């Protein structure tokens, strides 16, 4: 015999299913997917990635349960970034997170429809990701790690008031770095200082380029250049050996051997980016969301690195720091 449900039983079952659906979190009622890519792995970009995933989890998007997360890095290779972009576009996720300018540029070349949320991009306009800092009207939005460079110069002069020559190693092919260099060329002379540059197109060039500046600079300063960040220990060694102070825009660099940094908390930047991705997953169009700046700056100092590089940090500076590494 077969059970033949009556109308009353069917109505009750439908009501129960409806109640269950209503009780489920919004994120659990529909499977979503997000693909994430970065140009290279280093602590700052890794912190962004982890912050994005944490923000998604807080919003109810849990990988392996109601949500699919995938991540790939290009290992510093722009060609690989293009391959990853095309692969992700073929997967048709609900949103793609691009950590760094090269990754975002590769994705924008691959799709004009799938939502792209960039992060750790210093200048999305110079990088040709958006036409302005207003809502783009396209499939792109995101969170920038741009800093007020006057405040960076304030930090330099507070720590090294006699310094006149600022040495920067950077990849001239990276739009972020080119934008920072252009601004420093204009701002430093206004503060009685000059910029001394050394190009490092690849991570393996960083140490050689840093050594080429010895005798020409009073300090090294590093921005959020991915080639430099992925080989940071090599520039730290040059600074330690030559006793040339190394200052940075990247707080994670202080843990790796820089004397000080006043910059973005990259985990917080990832959380902020993840919150924007959640908006997209819930239906907001990226073209309607204005790009944002990282909202939290922190001062980190490394007193041990200062001693190794011949720097006496002001006591009030150390006391004001959010993190002091001995």
Sign of CA dihedral 167, 172, 174, 180: positive
Please tell me the predicted confidence (pLDDT) of residue 30: 65
* 263, 295 Cβ separation under 8 angstroms: no
β pairing state of 67-73 and 95-99: unpaired
pLDDT of residue 20 exceeding 90: no
Domain 149-263+298-324: which CATH number of 3.20.20.330, 3.40.50.2300, 3.30.1490.190, 3.30.380.10: 3.40.50.2300
Q: Which runs of E-coded beta strand occur in 80-223?
A: 95-99, 116-121, 140-144, 165-170, 194-199, 219-222
According to CATH, the superfamily of the domain at 32-145+265-297 is Response regulator (3.40.50.2300)
**Same topology between domain 32-145+265-297 and domain 149-263+298-324:** yes
Residue pLDDT, tens place only, 275-286: 999 999 999 999
pTM greater than 0.85: no
**Cα separations in angstroms, 78 against 57, 85, 127, 208, 234:** 30, 11, 14, 22, 22
Nearest to 124 by CA among 290, 295, 248, 275: 290
What was the pLDDT predicted at 26?
44
- Give 39-64 pLDDT, tens digit per residue: 999 888 999 999 999 999 999 999 98
In this predicted structure, the answer to whether residue 123 has a pLDDT above a threshold of 80 is: yes
130-169 pLDDT, tens per residue? 999 999 999 999 999 998 899 999 999 999 999 999 999 9
So where are the chain's domains?
Answer: 32-145+265-297, 149-263+298-324
Mean pLDDT of 237-249: 98
CB 181 within 8 A of CB 195: yes
Q: What is the pLDDT of residues 205-214, one digit of tens each?
A: 999 999 999 9
In eight-state DSSP terms, residue 82 is: H
């Amino acid at each position: 015999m077969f059970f033949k449900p009556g109308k009353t039983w069917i109505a009750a079952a439908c009501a129960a299913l409806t109640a269950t659906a209503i009780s489920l979190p919004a994120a659990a009622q529909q499977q979503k997917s997000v693909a994430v890519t970065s140009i290279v792995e280093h602590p700052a970009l890794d912190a962004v990635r982890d912050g994005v995933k944490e923000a998604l989890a807080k919003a109810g998007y849990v990988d392996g349960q109601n949500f699919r997360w995938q991540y790939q890095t290009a290992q510093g290779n722009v060609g690989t970034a293009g391959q990853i972009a095309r692969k992700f576009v073929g997967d048709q996720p609900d949103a793609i997170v691009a950590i760094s300018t090269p990754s975002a540029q590769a994705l924008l070349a691959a799709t004009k429809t799938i939502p792209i949320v960039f992060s750790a991009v210093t200048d999305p306009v110079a990088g040709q990701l958006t036409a302005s800092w207003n809502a783009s009207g396209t499939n792109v939005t995101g969170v920038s790690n741009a800093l007020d460079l006057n405040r960076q110069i304030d930090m330099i002069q507070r720590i090294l008031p006699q310094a006149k020559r600022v040495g920067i190693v950077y990849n001239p092919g990276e739009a972020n770095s080119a934008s920072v260099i252009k601004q420093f060329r204009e701002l430093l002379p206004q503060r009685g200082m000059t910029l001394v540059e050394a190009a490092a197109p690849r991570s393996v060039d960083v140490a050689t380029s840093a050594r080429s500046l010895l005798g020409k600079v009073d300090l090294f300063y590093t921005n959020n250049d991915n080639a430099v960040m992925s080989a940071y220990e090599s520039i730290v060694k040059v600074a330690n050996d030559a006793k040339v102070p190394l200052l940075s825009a990247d707080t994670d660099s202080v843990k790796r051997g820089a004397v000080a940094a006043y910059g973005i908390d990259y985990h917080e930047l990832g959380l902020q980016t993840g919150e924007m991705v959640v908006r997209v997953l819930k239906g907001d169009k990226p073209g309607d969301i204005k790009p944002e700046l990282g909202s939290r700056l922190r001062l980190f100092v490394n007193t041990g690195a200062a001693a190794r590089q011949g720097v006496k940090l002001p006591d009030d500076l150390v006391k004001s720091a959010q993190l002091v590494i001995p």
